[in-house]
Chains A and B, each alone.
Chain A
Amino acid sequence: MTSIFKLIVISVLASCITVAEAAEKDPTSSAGLVADTENAVAKPIFKLGGFGTLGVSHSSQGLGDYVLDSTFPKGPGLSSNWATSNDSRIGVQVSANFTPKISAVLQVVSEYEADSNYRPGVEWANVKYAFTPDAYIRVGRIALPTFLYSNNREVGYSYPWIHPPVDLYRQLPMTNSDGLDASYRFEIGEAMNSIKIIYGRGKTDRPTSTSTAKDLRGIFDTLEYGPATLRVGYQERETSTLNLLTGVSGEWVPNSDLSIGAIYDAGDWFAMSEWIQRKSTTKLNAMYLSAGRRINQYTPYLTYSRNSQASFLPGFPAPTESAIQNAKRSESTASLGMRWDFMKNADIKLQLDQVHLGDDSNGYLANVPAGVILYGTRFHVISAVLDFVF
């Protein structure tokens, strides 16, 4: 954590505590919401909330661990029959509105980390200045909005699946960035368009390596009209990976992600799809297509997702043997699931995945013993979660 970032976290915490005390002394402060906003006297409003998911999953492939992305050290399969690590987490969020223009948010999340613990980490800590209700800038640790569900991928209650479709979402496990973003929304006829730019740096911890991203810059546009949402995003960054086993840091490599996503939510039924093209020393793409139907408090859904093998781009040094092997990883997943909104602010979900490993690799299975070849095979994963918000 850089010292500037520490400073931001401390100031957000300090301001939240100050506001919490103010809110305690003035129980009527939330009445400010209804006041005529032209004449509103600025009274700080302090809010505390949280979300969580308790999950368990089982994989029928006992020769490797089924993990959602490369940050997980292990999962169900080889290490254990059943595991809670893939889908369990808890988050707490404190936000404070100091004035109608200035607010701050701090979110702390505890989930399974690359070093096999659930130590809570700061997911976001930022201060927001809203020029108008439709334009703001934020400084601090900010959600990285790569995909449609990036901002809320840790909040299971906010989407239909057990987790966002893995074959696409695992392609960029980095969820936040330290820096700033700016957003502006405006109407185009009856449609709402919002455009966001981001600049910062980030870090991804994996069991045996740490990737650092610098000069991260991106632009994202979201158009919403009635039941339809369309999103296009592009981001670039320079990435270097430190191998924790050898202590050797890799060269800075330019990375870019182009993403396109759409949601159509008619109320009774819904469908969504995303596609991403990722470039570093290699190029690959990933996509998913999902659809579901709401029948009272039950939401059955189907999802298909896949990623391609990566092809090497010209202009880089000859790849290592392990890079060549990594580039061959491809997987596809067909999922059938059901969400049950059994009570207010909580749901239970069940999902069955059939995972198909590509013909030239063991896919994204972790901890597969040397010499075990599972190329082109299929296996099943069954998962259940309880999501809640408070």
Chain B
Amino acid sequence: MNPYKVLNIDYRANNREILEAVALAMREKKFPIREVAIAQKELLDPISRVVHNFLNFINVKPLKEKVVLSRLEEPTIPQLNRLSVFDGNEDS
């Protein structure tokens, strides 16, 4: 179970936002009350929150930052004329 999905919150949500999300989830009843309660418990516990952060979110920022983006030379627009080289190859 992904508690962030159950409570529909971002991984940066603080405890107050978590509690607000819990109240909303209880009212909306999209998920069973038991699941909402578990989600609340999991996210308010610092260790299990770290675990869920690891499990449910990815961080590709360091990977993107490592990419070396080279500039492309301005391409010379070629004159594109239809070639007759294949005209001998009748299609049917």
Chain A bound to chain B? no
> Could you tell me which A residues sit within 8 Å of B by CB distance?
none
